Structure 1
Amino acid sequence: MHRAGTARHDNSESSPSTHEGPLGFVVDNSTPVIARFVSSNPPPVGDYVMIEHPGGAILGMVEQVGTRSITLNALPGVYDPTIVEKLSAEMGDEDVFFECTARLLGTVDSLRMPRLPPLPGARVYRAPSEMLKRVFGGEEPYWVRLGVLASRPDIPVYVNVNRLVTRHTAILAVTGAGKSNTVAIIVDRLVRHGGTVLIFDFHGEYVGSNLGGHVNVIDPVLNPRLLSISELMVLLGIEQRYYNQERVLRKALSQLRESGSEERGGFLETLASIVERMAHRRREESTAATAVVNKIESLQERYGDIIRDDAADPVSRIRPGYANVVDLSRVDRDAADAVVSHVLRIVLAERKRHKLTGSSQIPFPILIVVEEAHILAPRDEDTLSKYWLARIAREGRKFGVGLMLVSQRPKGLDPEILSQANNLIVLRIVEPSDQRYIQAASESLSDDLVAHLPSLNTGEAVVIGPFIRIPALVRIDRYEGRLGGADIDVVAEWVSLRRTMDEATSVDDFVSEFM
């Protein structure tokens, strides 16, 4: 019988290194995907091992480590604490061993998956650091550093920029797990290499930052003349089921655009006047027209600060080589939906025009970062942004438009859009339903990796997808600049407030004493 131990080629780079000796040995029931081995000195979860194989050494990622006792293993069914306590007094260090599971990632030389499993008794070695540096390394600007291996802080981890953009990316985690820091690290390094990024910032986290040394803040101000009928309906609050109001609005817009002239008040005032005249001319349109007039007046009161006739289109304000931040922190959900859908629609159209004609407002590839993606692309609700995000998810790679979806509620995110994000950066996720939802959207996320999501430390992430050569458990680098998403020091602010109040009281007492 051909044993795994005889399959070594000592002069080949693909052979396991024996400098440190084997960590353990393969046991029964291994497959071409999963290897089970026992060890007395196990590697930590997330670390990498090399396993002897007739076709050349195989690289594996450790996904499970469990303890076993030789004594207790020989006495199955012993669960009485008293008996276990007595037996443990007789058991030494040699009595304990570890059962480990490693996901096979491919041969060391080419990362091609084996057709046959490792043989029982095959030796398992700790993967050499120099080999891992080659696997996870990359040359800038085509690769950018994301962090280091959580199990090997001396191994930097790089991701492929082209695949990060064209294959779309999702960053998922609970609040406080490090999503904003991850976004900042990626954007900062892309911009420093000349990349153009557009961030839809719901909470003003990036407005005061210095990402890549080039930040361009774009106010969410819209010119009503440039809005589509659907975008205007969202701002007016005209739902699609109000078809009479929609018909009135379409007719009024058509008349306004055909005439090309506006009254002194501006676009919305002229539109309201046209609708009002329609109400007097046709009795069947009177109720709907009155409702539309009321909604136009309400829009002017509600969104007067973001609707301006003299506003330049937000897309025209995108600067190449910058982190362009659309500040949505001062608008409500409907306004955010209108702004985001408008920008997405124009960006995709301009990138298509550039490919077809070579002339465009956006003559450069662009990565779009969507914070709070579950709000703009909800699972069970239609929004304008959701439609355009789905379009870009399907078509964007052909035109140099990449998506980065960021969410703390993965199960609230549209599954079709999430499934188009081939790259995943998953930080701590505690909710089991969120874990299952993410796994359903990604064929590459195994049960064992999912099981580790609740126990990840802040800033640690499971990273998987075409932009990295093999799956990794990564400690994301810390962004050293300023971000608005960090937790505030509540106690310090309370103490400062109390000190200010006490000082003010003392001054008042002093003044009153000598008055």
Structure 2
Amino acid sequence: MHEIEDTGSKAGAIELSGLEKPLGFVVDNSTPVVARFVSSNPPPVGDYVVIEHPDGIVLGMVEHVGTRSITLNALPGVYDPAIVEKLSAEMGDEDVFFECTARLLGDVETLRMPRLPPLPGARVYRAPSNLLKHVFGGKEPYWIRLGVLASRPDIPVYINVNRLVTRHTAILAVTGAGKSNTVAVIVDRLVKHGGTVLIFDFHGEYVGSSLGGRVNVIEPLLNPRLLSIAELMVLLGIEQRYYNQERVLRKALAKLKEAGSEEKGGFLDTLASIVEHMAHRRREESTAATAVVNKIESLRERYGEIIRDDAVDPVSRIRPGYANIVDLSRVDRDAADAVVSHMLRIVLAERKRHKLTGSSQVPFPVLIVVEEAHILAPRDEDTLSKYWLARIAREGRKFGVGLMLVSQRPKGLDPDILSQANNLVVLRIVEPSDQRYIQAASESLSDDLVAHLPSLNTGEAVVIGPFIRIPALVRIDKYEGRLGGADIDVVAEWQSLSRTLDEAGSVDDLVSEFM
């Protein structure tokens, strides 16, 4: 937990006399981590309470609320509906009470965790708004607003920018729960404060946006001369087990780098000629060389639009203070892997060079947003991007390279990389295996918080990590700009097509208009 920084407010110093009427009272079996209390007027799940404690006043987050009946509690084992119906006729509002659980978050002054549990009978109060505004507030540009508390819409929630970047972040949810909106809100506010963001956009959701008012779209063009051997092998489809083909390719690339060899034609043409010549000269390499020539021809057909000899390195096109969007919507998975791994490798190398020498083509910190992270860093498969994402997850914070992983399939994401994302924004997650997987990767997610993930409304999220002072159930702000990730209006499009068909007179006439 973080100490509450001085923001000029006196909200941290509260007195019991300034609190409202108690909500309830602590009962047995509380611990220094969890307090159990009973109430006749319970707070909602996700709300905050303050509790009397031997060391002062402790702040807690309500994680569980359950109903109990005094009458039924006195008659254990009554499960007959007829008996319960008769008893309920005699039970009034005073017969019902609520058992609640609050996770203790620390004392209200410093958020340091108590070493002793609250005592039985200790009074429990609704946390004052001025205290919560103090806890969740922050000064821009070091803090940016994420949304409001779901249980207290009058309390804005801010997150720490430095910890957002240096401690890495994961945004996880099912489709349609609000991942893209969350990314847009964060990126928009970072860019408005001069932040540099690099987004790998699989579906073109951000290409036409106006994030922060400064958007720089980067086409996924690669100069083959600048690719590593591993990246070139991915594009060629040469797997590591094809060691003969890899050996042929390495020899051909070595010859290609000799003086004058690149002047004979384009990179791929020259490479193909060298490999073909090798097939005729060495009998033992003939089969492998022929296969490599065929794969070079296939590469030209599949990736001719993104492989260009005159292409500049895409990293050199990253603009500081912009939302830099790499449009991967028109390339397949292998091409995306090559583009992303290449840029990750260069960005990390340039940031290291900047720290060591002060000279670099990336002389500014970068937050890298990886959409569909489970595709680039799958759990049970090795990819080039996965290797570099793992490197950045381990080393990036020292060099000003942050990661934001976005995924709708958490269990498909590499666990080592996910565990390096100390900050979590978890929107609605329905699949139990996904819930367990996320919880296993984060020690901060309690069983009670996980249990609420399926019932979150669109745009609501459990927010946990070093970038927020205490865990929160947050209603994410709505990004007011345009995004391409929203569901299409299927009925409206069908109706529009129907009207067009009526006007055209026939399907053939309509088709001819579009040919």
Contact 1:33 1:103 in 2 (8 A): yes
Aligned-residue offset at 1:359 = 0.3
Please give the per-residue CA displacement for 1:374-393, whole angstroms capped at 9, x wherever unaligned: 00000000000000000000
Aligned-residue offset at 1:502 = 1.4
Please give the per-residue CA displacement for 1:347-392, whole angstroms capped at 9, x wherever unaligned: 0000000000000000000000000000000000000000000000
Task: Sort the Cα spacing of 1:246 and 1:477 in 2 relative to 1 into closer, same or farther, 3 A.
Answer: same
Please give the per-residue CA displacement for 1:152-173, whole angstroms capped at 9, x wherever unaligned: 0000000000000000000000
Contact 2:144 2:159 in 1 (8 A): yes
Query: 2:487 — aligned with what?
Result: 487
Aligned-residue offset at 1:514 = 26
SS in 1 for 2:448: helix
Contact 1:4 1:53 in 2 (8 A): no
Please give the per-residue CA displacement for 1:41-69, whole angstroms capped at 9, x wherever unaligned: 00000000000001010000000000000
Please give the per-residue CA displacement for 1:391-411, whole angstroms capped at 9, x wherever unaligned: 000000000000000000000
Equivalent-residue separation in structure 1 for 2:98 and 2:35 (angstroms): 14
Task: Sort the Cα spacing of 1:129 and 1:282 in 2 relative to 1 into closer, same or farther, 3 A.
Answer: same
Aligned-residue offset at 1:500 = 1.4
Equivalent-residue separation in structure 1 for 2:425 and 2:206 (angstroms): 20
Equivalent-residue separation in structure 2 for 1:305 and 1:193 (angstroms): 35
Equivalent-residue separation in structure 2 for 1:324 and 1:264 (angstroms): 36
Aligned-residue offset at 1:510 = 16
Equivalent-residue separation in structure 1 for 2:191 and 2:339 (angstroms): 24
Identity within the alignment, %: 91
Task: Sort the Cα spacing of 1:260 and 1:373 in 2 relative to 1 into closer, same or farther, 3 A.
Answer: farther
Equivalent-residue separation in structure 2 for 1:514 and 1:119 (angstroms): 76
Aligned-residue offset at 1:265 = 3.5
Contact 1:393 1:421 in 2 (8 A): yes
Aligned-residue offset at 1:315 = 0.2
Equivalent-residue separation in structure 2 for 1:295 and 1:514 (angstroms): 36
Query: 2:7 — aligned with what?
Result: none
Query: 1:316 — aligned with what?
Result: 316
TM-score, normalised on structure 1? Answer: 0.94
TM-score, normalised on structure 2? Answer: 0.94
Query: 2:511 — aligned with what?
Result: 511
Please give the per-residue CA displacement for 1:321-359, whole angstroms capped at 9, x wherever unaligned: 000000000000000000000000000000000000000
Please give the per-residue CA displacement for 1:216-272, whole angstroms capped at 9, x wherever unaligned: 000001000000000000000000000000000000001101234325540000000
Contact 2:11 2:131 in 1 (8 A): no
Contact 2:501 2:510 in 1 (8 A): no
State the aligned residue count: 501
Equivalent-residue separation in structure 2 for 1:384 and 1:352 (angstroms): 20
Please give the per-residue CA displacement for 1:190-235, whole angstroms capped at 9, x wherever unaligned: 0000000000000000000000000000000100000000000000
Task: Sort the Cα spacing of 1:275 and 1:513 in 2 relative to 1 into closer, same or farther, 3 A.
Answer: closer
SS in 1 for 2:56: coil
Aligned-residue offset at 1:501 = 1.1
Equivalent-residue separation in structure 2 for 1:38 and 1:443 (angstroms): 27
Equivalent-residue separation in structure 2 for 1:458 and 1:260 (angstroms): 60
Equivalent-residue separation in structure 2 for 1:314 and 1:184 (angstroms): 22
Contact 1:263 1:269 in 2 (8 A): no
Task: Sort the Cα spacing of 1:361 and 1:73 in 2 relative to 1 into closer, same or farther, 3 A.
Answer: same
Please give the per-residue CA displacement for 1:123-159, whole angstroms capped at 9, x wherever unaligned: 0000000000000000000000000000000000000
Query: 1:499 — aligned with what?
Result: 499
Task: Sort the Cα spacing of 1:36 and 1:513 in 2 relative to 1 into closer, same or farther, 3 A.
Answer: closer
Please give the per-residue CA displacement for 1:427-463, whole angstroms capped at 9, x wherever unaligned: 0000111001000000111111101000000000000
Please give the per-residue CA displacement for 1:254-308, whole angstroms capped at 9, x wherever unaligned: 1101234325540000000000111111000000000000000100011000000
Please give the per-residue CA displacement for 1:12-67, whole angstroms capped at 9, x wherever unaligned: xxxxxxxx200000000000000000000000000000000010100000000000
Superposition CA RMSD, Å? 3.7
Contact 2:501 2:507 in 1 (8 A): no
Equivalent-residue separation in structure 2 for 1:404 and 1:365 (angstroms): 14
Aligned-residue offset at 1:511 = 18
Contact 2:410 2:437 in 1 (8 A): yes
SS in 1 for 2:264: coil
Equivalent-residue separation in structure 2 for 1:357 and 1:265 (angstroms): 37
Contact 1:191 1:321 in 2 (8 A): yes
Equivalent-residue separation in structure 1 for 2:514 and 2:238 (angstroms): 65
Contact 1:26 1:122 in 2 (8 A): yes
Matched, 1:343 2:343: yes
SS in 2 for 1:259: coil
Equivalent-residue separation in structure 2 for 1:183 and 1:337 (angstroms): 21
Equivalent-residue separation in structure 1 for 2:261 and 2:510 (angstroms): 68
1:181-220 paired onto structure 2 within 5 Å: 181-220=181-220
Query: 1:14 — aligned with what?
Result: none
SS in 1 for 2:239: coil
Task: Sort the Cα spacing of 1:506 and 1:400 in 2 relative to 1 into closer, same or farther, 3 A.
Answer: closer
Aligned-residue offset at 1:507 = 13
Query: 2:59 — aligned with what?
Result: 59
Please give the per-residue CA displacement for 1:489-515, whole angstroms capped at 9, x wherever unaligned: 111111111111112229999999999
Contact 1:33 1:104 in 2 (8 A): yes
Greater shift in the superposed pair: 496-505 or 36-45: 496-505
Please give the per-residue CA displacement for 1:86-116, whole angstroms capped at 9, x wherever unaligned: 1111111100000000000000011010010
Task: Sort the Cα spacing of 1:38 and 1:310 in 2 relative to 1 into closer, same or farther, 3 A.
Answer: same
SS in 2 for 1:57: strand
Equivalent-residue separation in structure 2 for 1:399 and 1:511 (angstroms): 55
Equivalent-residue separation in structure 1 for 2:315 and 2:511 (angstroms): 58
Contact 2:504 2:510 in 1 (8 A): no
Equivalent-residue separation in structure 1 for 2:46 and 2:512 (angstroms): 68
Contact 1:4 1:121 in 2 (8 A): no
Equivalent-residue separation in structure 1 for 2:362 and 2:51 (angstroms): 49
Task: Sort the Cα spacing of 1:100 and 1:502 in 2 relative to 1 into closer, same or farther, 3 A.
Answer: same
Equivalent-residue separation in structure 2 for 1:514 and 1:153 (angstroms): 50
Contact 1:4 1:54 in 2 (8 A): no
Aligned-residue offset at 1:4 = 23
Query: 2:107 — aligned with what?
Result: 107
SS in 2 for 1:106: strand
Moved segments of 4+, more than 4 Å? 1-5, 506-515
